[in-house]
Amino acid sequence: MAIEAQLIKEGEFLPLMEAFYSIQGEGFYTGNPAYFLRIGGCDVGCYWCDVKESWDANLHPLTKVEDIVDKIDDKIKTVVITGGEPLMWNMDFLTNVLKQKGIEVHLETSGAYPLSGKYDWICLSPKKNQQALDEIKAIANELKVIVRNKHDLKWAEQQKRTVSISCKLYLQPEWSKRKEMIPLITDFVMQNTDWQISIQSHKYMNLP
């Protein structure tokens, strides 16, 4: 058990929920093929989360990182590390192995945990109930705010002021409220042109 705990601490084992090849449906890289690694474990607890089964890391088998990477086909150019909240775990080992294979590595995070790992693109999706860390905000390439009500638009403006001027800004309707929110987001973006709209296009295409 002590050896296993050390391997987990060093990031050589991770609670892998699922791994799949699909199309990025959100944000800056929408429409691009990518291999997704969904890491189990999250305590941020967004009630509208569409992968609540990822929250309990104990439900997902600890998997050797080398075995995870060995299953990634040579044609894969981009791997997206998502969750859950992947930064609850040490991402150094995983990202180093991916980089050695010449793979571009993207991260999707709430920013609630300290950064580990090396990335080519960081998508920060902050949550109200657990504030993102300044170190993540400073280096985020993309800010994606989920919009469920009018107040979320005001909150998005507050978050914009915490990221770098080069950070791409996206507003994304919460899926169950998309019909009500898309008109509001559209009007907002037409008045606040530094924002763009992100829609979960993979769901419209029935992709994972």
Q: What is the pTM of this model?
A: 0.94
Query: Any idea which residue has 């980089």 for tokens?
Result: 99
pLDDT of 101-138, one tens digit each?
A: 999 999 999 999 999 999 999 999 999 988 999 999 99
Whether residue 5 is contained in a domain is answered as: no
Q: What is the CATH number of the domain that holds 141?
A: 3.20.20.70
CB-based burial label for 136 (10 Å; 0-12, 13-18, 19+)? buried
Which residues form the domain of 146? 13-204
More confident site: 41 or 1? 41
Looking at the 3D structure of the chain, how many domains does it have?
1
Instruction: Give the whole-angstrom CA distance, residue 14 versus residue 96.
Output: 14
Whether residue 6 is contained in a domain is answered as: no
Whether residue 97 is contained in a domain is answered as: yes
Whether residue 30 is contained in a domain is answered as: yes
